[in-house]
Structure 1
Amino acid sequence: MQDSETEFQVSLLKKQLLRKLVEAYAKGRALSPQEERQLELLPPGDKRGMIRRAKGCARFYWKMPATAMSC
């Protein structure tokens, strides 16, 4: 029971971090120190994938913000 709850918490944190990354790339701003630390805690494969995904989603941010945040 606790493992599934922990996995849920981790996936929720990853989604929140992805949204922050998309917004940061779209607006051309740097990540906050807290966001940088969260990103550094991810395994290397997850980190690269999340950055690649955020850059791709950021292209849609100004045209379709809801779509960019859900991709």
Structure 2
Amino acid sequence: MPYHVFEINAFKQFEHLASHDNYRSAKNAVKELRKSAGASSGNEYRMMFAASPELALKLLNEKREPRPMGEHD
């Protein structure tokens, strides 16, 4: 399964930018995107491991429960 890289704008709209076969290349791509965009752009870059870009988008939009207080140790 590939790693999918997404750009998330200030309005929480997702754009699929690329797919990578291994974690290291996806991680480096996201790092470079974050570095080149800078903090003033307001965009976020995320990576998700999923079978397809559609499934990755679904996983990124999923609401997650906060971790229980005892798990922070």
Asked whether the two chains share a fold, i.e. TM above 0.5, the reply is no
Question: Counting helix residues as a fraction of each chain, which structure ranks higher?
Answer: 1
* Larger Rg computed on CA atoms: 2
More strand by share: 2
What TM-score results when the alignment is normalised by the length of structure 2? 0.32
**What TM-score, normalized by structure 1, do the two folds share?**
0.32
